[in-house]
């Protein structure tokens, strides 16, 4: 049974989020963004559906990034830096309950944003397929929906990492620096490793650097999801094994990051 204090704090977190002006503006922005993205998509020749999906996926990456960096990070940083967490922990509340409820509350905050963005994107696709007949396949909305659901997973992992960092960090600056560093590494290491498979590049790179990159990569989640979104944008079928592997790795990574963070958080001093 879920603890009463867990559900109460998760709900309070969501309520707190919805009270922020940034969050309310984000709700409005995600409704409008897909319609604006039709403008660049209309510039292309044949694959306008593909370009529209590229734009919609990019928009999703953009607001998910913004949510984690500009809404979730400040909230968790304030909790630790200013001692808001102490108010909840002295109710009394177990640290794992606080840590879990905040995590679920912040993930829950993504749901209204995602739902609105998805609905607005689907409407955009339907409208575009009507307006650009012959250029947008009728089943594009299905790929779009699938892609958007899959793109969310790496950001859930990133949320897990945010909590892992916050479990030991002392404030906003520390959390932001480490999270940005992780994000940059997650973004750039997989393509660099891909490049290193090229014999020319490999011959010019020192072996210790390759080993270092491989090691770092093993500790970080694969945030790219690039091949999946590329195939979906072209309505190419996805290998079910690949999709399951992708989902499993992100959900496992999130759980692992959360659990590690919870263990560290239990043992830390809160000022």
Partner 1 sequence: MLVLALIIAWGRSTQSEVTHIMESGTWSESSVLWHKASAGSLPGLGADLAILNVFNIYAQVTSGKQSGETWKMALLDKLHIAQSLDPYFNDTYRLTEGLLAYEAGKFDKAIDILAASVPFLHQYEPLMVAAFIAHQDIHDQQLAASLARQAAMQPDAPPLALSYAAKLTSKAAGCRFAIAFLQARINVTPITYRQHILNKIKKIREGEACQQEIADSL
Partner 2 sequence: MKMTAISINQLKKTYRSTVVVDQVSFDLHHGEALGLLGANGAGKSTMIKCMLGLVMTDQGTVKFSAQPPAYLPENPQLPLSLSAMDLIQFKCASLGMECSHAENTLNQLGLPPAKHHSLLRTYSKGMRQRAALAFALCGKPASILLDEPMSGLDALGRAEVLTLLKQRKQAGMACLMCSHIVPDMVQLCDRILIMAHGKACEEIVLSEHSMQQVALLEERLAYWQVEALPS
Binding footprint of partner 1 on the chain (CB under 8 A): 40, 43-47, 50-51, 53-55, 57-58, 61, 151, 154, 187-188, 191-192, 194-195, 198, 200-201, 223-226, 229-231, 233-234, 236
Closer CB to partner 2, 130 or 267, in the complex: 267
Q: Is residue 168 a contact residue for partner 2 (CB under 8 A)?
A: no
Cβ at position 236, least distance to partner 1 in Å: 7
Q: How far is 182 from 175, CA to CA, in rounded Å?
A: 11
Q: Is residue 267 a contact residue for partner 2 (CB under 8 A)?
A: yes
Taking the CA atoms of 12, 29, 184 and 240 in sequence, report the sign of the dihedral they define.
Answer: positive
Cβ at position 69, least distance to partner 1 in Å: 15
Q: Are 130 and 34 in contact (CB under 8 A)?
A: no
Q: Which of 32, 82, 131, 209 forms a contact with partner 2 (CB under 8 A)?
A: 82
Q: How far is 168 from 268, CA to CA, in rounded Å?
A: 7
Cβ at position 256, least distance to partner 1 in Å: 21
Q: Is the peptide bond before 92 cis (omega within 30 degrees of 0)?
A: yes
At CA 145, angle to CA 217 and CA 17, rounded to 5?
75
Nearest to 57 by CA among 174, 155, 129: 155
Q: How far is 150 from 56, CA to CA, in rounded Å?
A: 13
Cβ at position 73, least distance to partner 2 in Å: 15
Q: Which of 27, 69, 78, 238 forms a contact with partner 2 (CB under 8 A)?
A: 78
Q: Is residue 92 a contact residue for partner 2 (CB under 8 A)?
A: yes
Cβ at position 47, least distance to partner 1 in Å: 5
Q: Are 57 and 103 in contact (CB under 8 A)?
A: no
Q: Is residue 86 a contact residue for partner 2 (CB under 8 A)?
A: yes
Instruction: Find the part of the chain contacting partner 2 (CB under 8 A) among 64-72, 91-99, 241-249, 251-259.
Output: 91-99
Q: How far is 137 from 139, CA to CA, in rounded Å?
A: 5
Q: Is residue 90 a contact residue for partner 2 (CB under 8 A)?
A: yes
The two tokens of residue 181 are 């560093």
Cβ at position 121, least distance to partner 1 in Å: 15
Residue 96: CB atoms within 10 A of its CB come to: 16
Residue 91, contacted partner among partner 2, partner 1, none, CB below 5-8 A by kind: partner 2
Residue 264 is inside which H or E element, if any? helix 240-267
Footprint on this chain of partner 2 (rule: CB under 8 A) = 4-5, 8-9, 11-12, 15-20, 78, 82-84, 86-87, 89-93, 267-271
């Amino acid at each position: 049974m879920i603890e009463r204090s867990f559900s109460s704090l998760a709900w309070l977190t969501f309520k707190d989020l919805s009270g922020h002006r940034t969050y309310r503006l984000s709700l409005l922005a995600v409704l409008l963004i897909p319609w604006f993205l039709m403008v660049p998509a209309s510039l292309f020749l044949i694959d306008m559906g593909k370009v529209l999906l590229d734009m919609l996926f990019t928009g999703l990456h953009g607001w998910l990034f913004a949510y984690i960096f500009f809404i979730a990070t400040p909230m968790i940083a304030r909790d630790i830096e200013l001692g808001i967490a102490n108010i909840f922990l002295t109710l009394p509340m177990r640290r794992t309950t606080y840590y879990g409820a905040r995590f679920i509350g912040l993930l829950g905050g993504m749901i209204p944003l995602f739902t609105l963005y998805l609905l607005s994107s689907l409407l955009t696709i339907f409208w575009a397929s009507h307006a650009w007949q012959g250029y947008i396949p009728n089943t594009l909305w299905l790929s779009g929906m699938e892609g958007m659901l899959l793109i969310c997973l790496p950001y859930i992992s990133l949320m897990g990492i945010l909590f892992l960092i916050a479990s030991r960090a002392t404030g906003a600056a520390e959390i932001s620096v480490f999270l940005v560093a992780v994000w940059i590494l997650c973004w750039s290491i997989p393509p660099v490793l891909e490049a290193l498979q090229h014999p020319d590049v490999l011959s010019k790179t020192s072996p210790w650097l390759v080993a270092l990159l491989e090691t770092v990569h093993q500790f970080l989640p694969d945030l790219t999801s690039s091949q999946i979104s590329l195939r979906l944008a072209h309505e190419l079928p996805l290998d079910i094994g690949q999709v399951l592997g992708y989902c499993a790795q992100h959900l496992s990574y999130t759980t692992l990051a959360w659990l590690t963070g919870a263990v560290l958080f239990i043992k830390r001093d809160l000022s």
